[in-house]
């Protein structure tokens, strides 16, 4: 069971990486077609909502593949958890980068100028709800666009060189998920995370006298 679980998370990492690659090409074409017109906040999050909803759809189809088209509630529950953690990780990364680039003033990239926390949470919630909805309305998950993404991802994954590169990315995704789950478990048990990735940065940005050595920094 542990090896099956690790392999499942690894495969999802490969799936997310290849989907992001394909969507990146789509966004690049969109930028060229729009003659570098700056997107509004609404346009930014409509596109992101479409991106996340189709990722949720393709993830659902991936779970169906593993069981020959049958629904496994265990795998779907695990996929929903990993998918949510992936979305939340993206949100945290965008939020941190928006704050960091915010110090540059006009140098802030357009995508981060349009960052809106409520909209990010709304898009994530919509995508997770769609994933859950596919469990009850499986036919909605099967459509030409999702099928194209699904087939393209499988095709790229089977490509010798490019597929290997994405499998390496999937491996690092697996390691990241393991640490996140370990942190969550340790936080529940002891009230503190196992590893604090940003502790050094936060500590250096505060005066030494502001915090006790054993005080948790949020």
Cα–Cα distances (Å) from 1 to 13, 176, 177, 180, in that order, read: 18, 20, 17, 19
Enumerate helices (H) and strands (E) in the chain, giving the number of each: 8, 0
Q: What is the pLDDT of residues 36-48, one digit of tens each?
A: 677 788 888 999 9
Residue 171 has pLDDT above 80, yes or no: yes
Average pLDDT over residues 149-174: 91
**Higher pLDDT, residue 146 or 67:** 146
pTM: 0.79
Separation between Cα atoms, residue 70 and residue 72, nearest integer Å = 6
């Amino acid at each position: 069971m542990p090896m099956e679980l690790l392999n499942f998370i690894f495969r999802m990492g490969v799936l997310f990486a290849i989907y992001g690659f394909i969507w990146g090409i789509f966004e690049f074409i969109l930028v060229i077609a729009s003659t570098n017109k700056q997107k509004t906040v609404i346009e930014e999050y409509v596109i992101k909502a479409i991106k996340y909803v189709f990722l949720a759809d393709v993830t659902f189809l991936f779970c169906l593949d593993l069981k020959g088209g049958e629904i496994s509630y265990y795998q779907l529950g695990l996929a929903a958890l990993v998918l949510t953690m992936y979305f939340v990780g993206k949100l945290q990364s965008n939020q941190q980068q928006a704050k960091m680039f915010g110090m540059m003033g006009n140098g802030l990239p357009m995508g981060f100028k349009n960052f809106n926390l409520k909209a990010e949470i709304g898009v994530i919630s919509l995508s997770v709800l769609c994933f859950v909805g596919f469990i009850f309305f499986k036919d909605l998950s099967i459509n030409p666009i999702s099928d194209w993404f699904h087939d393209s991802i499988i095709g790229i994954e089977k490509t010798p060189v490019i597929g290997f590169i994405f499998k390496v990315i999937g491996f690092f995704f697996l390691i990241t998920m393991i640490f996140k789950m370990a942190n969550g478990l340790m936080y529940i048990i002891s009230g503190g995370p196992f590893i604090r990735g940003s502790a050094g940065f936060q500590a250096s940005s505060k005066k030494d006298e502001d915090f006790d050595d054993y005080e948790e920094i949020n």
